[in-house]
A and B are shown apart, each in its own frame.
Chain A
Amino acid sequence: MTGTSGALLEVDGLSVTFPSEDGEVHAVRDVSFAVEPGEVLGVVGESGSGKSVSLMAVPRLLPGSARVTGSIRFDGTELVGAKPETLRGLRGSEMAMIFQDPMSSMNPVHTVGRQIAEARRAHASVSKDEAWRDAVAALALVDIPQPETRAKQYPHEFSGGMRQRAMIAMAMVNKPRLIIADEPTTALDVTVQAQVLEVLDQARVESGASLVLVSHDLGVVAGTADRVQVMYGGTIVETGPTEEVFERPRMPYTVGLLSSLPAVDQIGGRLHPIPGAPPSLVSLPPGCSFAPRCPIVEDACREAEPELVEVGTGDAAQRSSTIGTDHLSRCRRWDVLAEGSTENLFSRTEVPA
């Protein structure tokens, strides 16, 4: 899935390892994906799946001990091995980041307006007054009431939701072309989350930027992303258009993730957990990393890690609607999922985790 011409971000064969006392931690393994201009890519997975690390490698916001190999091209410029100045020029201007915790990503001793103006002046030759005006305009863009007054306040005077909106304002002030949002609403209450997601969407549509949304919340991704990629054991196990992946999952892990969720709009009977635990990233099994927990595993799955294969054209009934959708799965037995109902895949395998 590489070399899509015109892609804003192209990640090819990205691997990230960290040294540890127990050996090398393979946090990200051979990950390739592309983000088109204006596109929203959702990245989902559970803790330790490599979803955050793979995206933080893009602006090189990883600890110094991380070893990054492969290729990351932003608008044609290679970032792996690039000079620090190249990255410094891109970070905060062409590509912006929004993090989970807005309290620790702002400086408590400077006013919110000053921090946003500083971000503006770091990348553009504008006067202090102009930068301040841009900061106030950015706060207005994210629906902060009385932006002139609010800009003069300190982060602690903002509530959690307002702080996160101010973070979005700071990310948007230089009109970035790519926004990487890592769990941007995880620390927020649902009613505030709804506000922040709406603001993020508005800001993105107005600026035409691409968005990579990393989240463990399948609901957040379902409503926002054009395409989604599911990560497990440090690598992409399924990717495709959001509706395709949610409605016709072709990787047992994705099926398990969806069927383990209780539904707010349904009276549920029994939930269907995925048995077992995620693999250790220090000593991964030789075959498919999901094999030890998979209800349809066969011997061949344990021998070699399967490749990502096109799965969109498997079902004759759905062939017309799914042709050329780039729906890929890292499962040798995806056709089993295409043939039968995926609903009861995990119900018969219930064992305590």
Chain B
Amino acid sequence: MSAPSTEAGAAPGAGGERDGALLQVRDLTTTFPVRGQGVLRRVVGRVQAVTEVSLDVDAGETLGVVGESGCGKSTTGRSILQLIRPDSGSVRYDGRELVGLSAKEMRPLRRELSMVFQDPFGSLDPRLPVSELIAEPLRIHQVYSSESDLRDRVDELLGLVGLKSEHRNRYSHEFSGGQRQRIGIARALAANPRVVVLDEPVSALDVSVQAGVVNLLEDLQERLGLSYLFIAHDLSVVRHISDRVAVMYLGKVVELGDAVSVYENPRHPYTQALLSAVPLPDPAAERRRRKSRVVLTGDIPSPANPPSGCRFRTRCPKAQQRCADEVPVLRASDVAGTHTFACHFPMGDADSAA
């Protein structure tokens, strides 16, 4: 891993860093060991799942994280919550450093930092009734005064996610995928969190059901003032729900900014290719797009041995020698510095049509 060059053009605080953000992530790096085939299973290398990721989530804000499989978006979410221990970097929540805290020290904070998982089938214990599934986090954090108080809170949470209190004695297999995801959301919200990391929360759902869950998440955010880190591969859903968006490629944030700005005026060639690859459910528009689509060649390189310089250069239509020699750093696209990108040869306004 080569050190990023500090370039004169890099705006201070580029990377969407803001003072006083509720969640501040700086240079977060997480690697996984690659073990050899031998008996000793010696570590022969490290997969750089997340490399020097910096981002902020403000109170009440949704930061979307998009990217393709293997880009490190899920590992970023889990590293922030310390579910995976990052190698280095800093995660400050409400002024407190999380990296390096022991599991015991982390536990009271887990009330405030919760998570919704992708698979509504695998993330709910099939042997517990819904009431117990939702009461479990409340019991762990001991945030109830009596059994009747607990019962009321469970009913309140069921109502919050659009389920009925008569559902409380049923088991998760009796529910549809969308309803199960609602139970997962109720669990995540049980202990009154402030930050929720949502890892592909609607990917397993059919579109007509997905829309209802997305609406629910938006309503809950408004009512409870939640901050979301919304991780997904579906660019349409991310655009819909996010205030700001971070685009990741092979462990790095390549572009970060206001959702409208990133989608309307992508500066990184990868963001542009990603946006132009999304098929539109509009036959005439989609046929026009197919003709002008930038189809990337090749596949994502192995994160165990990422390309030198810019990690996207092996698939980039604009790559030059400089891209192999020098790691591009995030720099500001506009005066305000709310939109940043890491590219030596960014897309101009003229050729950035999505």
Contacts and interface: CB of A to CB of B under 8 A. Distances in A.
17 contacts: A190-B274, A190-B277, A193-B279, A216-B206, A222-B279, A223-B286, A243-B283, A243-B284, A258-B281, A262-B237, A264-B280, A273-B209, A273-B212, A277-B209, A352-B163, A353-B162, A353-B209
A317 interface: no
A220 interface: yes
Nearest to B70: A189
Interface string B175-204: 010110010000000000000000000000
B299 A161 contact: yes
A264 B239 contact: yes
Interface residues on A, range: 35 or more
A47 B279 CA distance: 20
A160 B178 CA distance: 28
B151 interface: no
Contacts of A198: 290, 295
Contacts of B68: 189-192
Contact of A352 (B216, B289, B296, B354): B216
Interface string B283-310: 1111101100101110110000000000
B278 interface: yes
A222 B286 contact: yes
A3 interface: no
Contacts of A275: 212
A193 B276 CA distance: 12
Contact of A190 (B278, B282, B289): B278
Interface in A114-165: 159-162
Nearest to A268: B240
Interface string A154-193: 0000011110000000000000000000000000011111
B217 to A, nearest CB: 11
Interface of B: 68-69, 161-163, 176, 178-179, 182, 206-212, 214-216, 218, 233, 235-237, 239-240, 260, 263, 273-287, 289-290, 293, 295-297, 299-300, 354
B207 A257 contact: yes
Given A191-B273, A264-B236, A353-B179, A219 B215 contact: no
Nearest to A253: B208
A69 interface: no
A247 B283 CA distance: 8
A242 B274 contact: no
B238 to A, nearest CB: 9
B235 A190 contact: yes
B277 A261 contact: no
Given A191-B277, A218-B281, A243-B284, A261 B289 contact: no
A275 B178 CA distance: 11
Contact of B277 (A193, A262, A270, A352): A193
A326 interface: no
Contact of B282 (A246, A267, A350): A246
B211 A260 contact: yes
Contacts of A353: 162, 176, 178-179, 209, 212
B219 to A, nearest CB: 10
Contacts of A217: 279
B208 to A, nearest CB: 4
B102 to A, nearest CB: 37
A304 interface: no
Contacts of A247: 283
A262 B287 contact: no
Interface-centre pick from B235, B293, B299 (highest chain A CB count, 10 A): B299
Nearest to A350: B215
Contacts of B240: 262-263, 268, 271
A273 B216 CA distance: 11
A61 interface: no
Contacts of A193: 277, 279
A44 to B, nearest CB: 10
Given A256-B208, A264-B275, 14 more contacts: A47-B206, A160-B299, A162-B299, A194-B279, A216-B207, A220-B279, A222-B279, A247-B283, A262-B239, A265-B280, A270-B218, A273-B208, A274-B209, A352-B162
A36 interface: no
B233 to A, nearest CB: 7
